[in-house]
Structure 1
Amino acid sequence: MLSRVADNLYWFSRYVRRAENTARLVGVGSQLQLDLPRSVDFAWRPLIDTVGVGDVFAELFPEAGRNVGDAEVMRFLLLDRRNPSSLGSSIDAAREILRGIRDSLPQDVWEAVNDLHIYIDGDGERSIGRRYRIDFLNRITDGCLKVSALLSSNVSRDIGFQFLRLGTALEQADMTTRIVDAGASGLVTPRNEEDRETFRNMQWMAVLRSLAAYQMFRRQMRQRVTGELALRFLLQNAEFPRSVQFCLTRAQRVLPSMPTRPEVERRMNRVMGLVRNADPVALVQGNPTTLMDEIQMHLGGLHEAIAEGYFNG
């Protein structure tokens, strides 16, 4: 397979999964906003910083400050093409890649991605408000899952499919840490200190729900939601498909079907060790965002090794 085609397949799967999880990330805040009483202060700005585009937002909107409203954040995260990580930008990028590799993937995949593109352009602006936002996010999530299902069901298990799997696994691992990061970033500020623990657990419940993990959490953990248990489940659970460890294990299992690249294997082992050795109890008592940032940096290093080993030769 040409390295250009492998690169495109890898990035196509990453952009589709990024779009899905951007919708899920916004869903964390939207669901919390609906559940919380009006007396509780809710901050939207941490969602932007969680995605890693705080500098872009500050440059585009220098007067916004920290107390930016939900409409501005929604537009920036969902529709603004000046934001390279926005939902619209991700679908546009996936669609553009697909134009060049349409012979490598089923026609149904093109139609599904094109439907998402048309829907975002047609209904995105009215979905910024609270009334239609949840329906819009659910429609995007379902559309991205449809693309993933078409890839899983209708693509031959050749080397190209392995690059699709690799991109999907790494992007999901990265976005899971970012959604966890959002839940630990102080979205909610209670007026009374005695309410802090209650609202913190509500945040973790919203994180689990946004990752479609709440029912599986209850089924496996059989306890009420706490920060420690939610972190343990989303970071280290070996059976839930969106946990970081599950995604990294899936990516690691792809590597034997590809040409050997020692640097990729070394980077993979390093980030897996970081996740496996994490202590959820200490994380909850300290600052979970520090570990999430570290995992994201290691995933970035793993991506660079993959690009150098397979795409830049």
Structure 2
Amino acid sequence: MLSRVADQLYWFSRYLRRSENTARLVGVGSLLQLDLPRSVRFAWRPMIATVGAEELFLDVHPDADDADVLDFLLLDARNPSSLRASVDSAREVLRGIRDALPQEVWEAVNDLHLYIDADGERVLTRRYRLDFITRITDGCLKVSGLLAANVSRDIGFQFLRLGTAIEQADMTTRIIDAGASGLVKPRNEEDREAYQNMQWMAVLRALAAYQMYRRHVRQRVSAAHALRFLLHNAEFPRSVQFCLTRVQRILPAMPPRPAVERALTRATGLVRQADPALLAAGDPARFMDEAQIYLGRLHAAIAEGYFMG
């Protein structure tokens, strides 16, 4: 397979998963707003740091309010990690490899693009936000289903799977980061633990993980239990450990690249050695930042090993 086509397949699956999870990230805040009393202060702003775009956001919105944050995360084409930018990037990449994937995939991605253009502004109003997020996540899952059901299991499919696994691991850490980033300001210290647990409940629900959490953990939601499930569970497809194990299983089907295997071993070791109880008692966001750095190094090794030259 040409390295150019492999690169495009890898990035198409990354942009698709990024689109879904950017919607899910906003879903964390939207679900929390539904559950919280009106007297409790809720802040969207920490989510900008979660996606690593604070400097760009301040350039674009020096005097920002909540509507600016939502617009930047979801609709602003100037933000390269926004929902709109991710869907548009997936569409543009797909335009160059339409012969490699079923026609239905192009139609489904184009439907998402048209929906955001036509109805995107509705997401800025609280009344329609969850409907918009559900429509986006369902559309992305439809594309994932088409890829899983209708694409031959050749080397191109392995690059699709590789992009999906790397992006999902990264976005799971970012959504966890959002849950640990102080979106809720309790009125007094006695309420802090209760509201923190509500944040973790929202994280699980946004990742479609709450039912599987109840099935595997069988404990009330807490920071430590949620972190253990989302970092270490070997059976839930959105957990970081599951995604890294998937990469481990994909690599034998691809040309050997020792640098990729080394980067994967380091990222896997970091996640496995994490102590969820210590993270919950300390600063989970700092660990998530470190995990994203390791995942970035794994991506760099993949790009150098398979797409350059």
Q: TM-score surpassing 0.5? A: yes
Q: 1:62 corresponds to which letter in structure 2?
A: P
After the TM superposition, list the runs of 4 or more consecutive aligned residues in structure 1 that deviate by more than 4 angstroms.
Answer: none
Q: 2:264 corresponds to which letter in structure 1?
A: M
* Residues 214-293 of structure 1 mapped to structure 2, 5 A cutoff: 214-293=210-289
Q: What does the per-residue CA deviation read over 1:102-153, in whole Å, with 9 as the maximum and x for residues that have no partner?
A: 0000000000000000000000012210011100000000000000000001
Q: Which residue of 2 aligns with 1:185?
A: 181
The partner residue of 1:101 within 76, 97, 101 is 97
Partner of 2:38, secondary structure, is: coil
Contact 2:94 2:106 in 1 (8 A): yes
Distance 1:108 1:61 in 2: 38
Unpaired runs of at least 5, structure 2: none
Residues 1:60 and 2:56 are matched in the alignment: no
Q: 2:294 corresponds to which letter in structure 1?
A: H
Q: 2:254 corresponds to which letter in structure 1?
A: M
Q: Which residue of 1 aligns with 2:131?
A: 135
Partner of 1:58, secondary structure, is: helix
Q: Which residue of 2 aligns with 1:50?
A: 50
Partner of 1:199, secondary structure, is: helix
Q: What does the per-residue CA deviation read over 1:249-284, in whole Å, with 9 as the maximum and x for residues that have no partner?
A: 001111001111000000000000000110001101
Distance 1:191 1:234 in 2: 29
Contact 2:61 2:68 in 1 (8 A): no
Q: Say which is worse superposed, 41-50 or 104-113, in terms of deviation.
A: 41-50
Distance 1:215 1:126 in 2: 29
Q: What does the per-residue CA deviation read over 1:191-242, in whole Å, with 9 as the maximum and x for residues that have no partner?
A: 1110000000000000000000000000111110000000000000000000
Q: 1:55 corresponds to which letter in structure 2?
A: E
Distance 2:119 2:171 in 1: 25
Q: 1:178 corresponds to which letter in structure 2?
A: R
Q: Percent identity?
A: 74
Contact 2:122 2:132 in 1 (8 A): no
Q: Which residue of 2 aligns with 1:12?
A: 12
Q: Say which is worse superposed, 123-132 or 199-208, in terms of deviation.
A: 123-132
Q: What does the per-residue CA deviation read over 1:20-42, in whole Å, with 9 as the maximum and x for residues that have no partner?
A: 00000000001101110111111
Distance 1:135 1:83 in 2: 23
Distance 1:239 1:81 in 2: 36
Residues 1:90 and 2:86 are matched in the alignment: yes
TM-score for the superposition, normalised by structure 2: 0.99
TM-score for the superposition, normalised by structure 1: 0.98
Q: What does the per-residue CA deviation read over 1:78-99, in whole Å, with 9 as the maximum and x for residues that have no partner?
A: 1100000000000000000011
Contact 2:91 2:109 in 1 (8 A): yes
Q: Which residue of 2 aligns with 1:41?
A: 41
Residue-pair matches, total: 309
Residues 1:201 and 2:197 are matched in the alignment: yes
Residues 1:3 and 2:9 are matched in the alignment: no
The CA RMSD over aligned residues, in Å, is 0.6
Contact 2:201 2:221 in 1 (8 A): yes
How far apart are 1:61 and its partner, in Å?
1.1
Distance 1:183 1:167 in 2: 24
How far apart are 1:63 and its partner, in Å?
2.3
Distance 2:227 2:123 in 1: 31
Distance 1:30 1:53 in 2: 20
Contact 2:267 2:295 in 1 (8 A): yes
Distance 2:34 2:205 in 1: 14
